[in-house]
Structure 1
Amino acid sequence: MKKMLAGLTVLILSVCAISASAQGGGGGGQMQERMRQMYKDSLQLTDVQIDSVMAVQQDLRPQMRAIFQDQSMSQDDKMAKMKTLNDQADVRYAKFLSADQIAKLHAMQERMRARMRNRQGGGGGGGGNR
């Protein structure tokens, strides 16, 4: 469970960093464009679908950040709230993505979490079942 929370945390932080740098200039636009290209190449999304995915993520980001930063919550409570937000995202994705595209999005997010864990020296295997 702790690995799953850590994985979600890493994903949220990376998305937040992308968002913050995109809003603040300094190379963020490049990162946002790389994400767009990754969505296009890996998931075969249209530009409209990419914009929609990014809008959902941007909309949920403040709630995810608040959960992550809430020191009064236990890890189990944080995981439960994060799962609820992820489920909400999936419901919204289903309005414009196929089930296959959503599954590929989850797989891509898990790969990103694994890369971030490896960069941070957290290596540990597994952990991300959405």
Structure 2
Amino acid sequence: MKKILALVTIVLSVCTLANAQNGQRGEQYMQMYKQRLKDSLQFSDAKADSVAAIVQSYQPKQREIFMDQSMSREDKMARMKTLQDERNQKLKGILTDDELQKLTAMEERARQRRMQQGGGRQ
């Protein structure tokens, strides 16, 4: 019984550590994203924080769609498009049309770079 309890404790510790590391990476990514918004698009700290919060709130939904093996590629793309439209509606409450267009262009360039590096999927 003690061996099982020790094994369960070790497994839970490893899972907790892995989640913490993923959380740290996610936080580092968000900090870099906010800095890119401020540097590339000249967003204020408050605007960059607001945009990042909206973007971050959609990441779990996007990940869920991406990981769903029961959906066809076309269905995934349609669901992602719906999420993108939803997200952009929220962003319109914060950004001007010009700022939203610049943000979309910046994200598209980043997507293209990932595709060229083999790190992304269409």
> Structures share a fold, TM > 0.5?
yes
2:8: which partner in 1?
A: none
Long gaps (5+) in structure 2:
1-19
State the AA in 1 paired with 2:32. Answer: R
State the AA in 1 paired with 2:67. Answer: Q
* 4+ long deviations beyond 3 Å: none
**Mapped partners of 2:33, 2:83: distance in 1:** 21
Is residue 33 from structure 1 mapped to residue 31 from structure 2 by the alignment? yes
State the AA in 2 paired with 1:23. Answer: G
- Greater C-alpha Rg: 2
1:65: which partner in 2?
A: 63
**Please, what TM-score do these two structures have when normalized by structure 1?**
0.69
- 1:98 maps to which of 93, 96, 100: 96
Aligned partners of 1:40 and 1:46 also within 8 Å: yes
Aligned residues with identical type, % of pairs: 43
2:24: which partner in 1?
A: 24
Bigger helix fraction: 2
Deviation at 1:57, TM superposition (A): 1.2
Measured against aligned partners, the alpha-carbon deviations of 1:79-100 in whole angstroms (never above 9, x if no partner) come to 1100000001110001110000
Aligned partners of 2:54 and 2:87 also within 8 Å: yes
State the AA in 2 paired with 1:59. Answer: S
- 1:109 maps to which of 107, 116, 119: 107
Deviation at 1:23, TM superposition (A): 2.3
Deviation at 1:104, TM superposition (A): 0.4
Residues 85 and 119 from structure 1, CA distance in 2 versus in 1: closer, same or farther, beyond 3 angstroms? same
Q: What is the alpha-carbon root mean square deviation over aligned residues? A: 2.3
Deviation at 1:121, TM superposition (A): 7.5
**Please, what TM-score do these two structures have when normalized by structure 2?**
0.73
Aligned partners of 2:33 and 2:52 also within 8 Å: no
Q: How many residues align?
A: 102
Higher RCO (CA < 8 A, seq sep 6+): 1
**Mapped partners of 1:38, 1:81: distance in 2:** 27
Residues 121 and 88 from structure 1, CA distance in 2 versus in 1: closer, same or farther, beyond 3 angstroms? closer
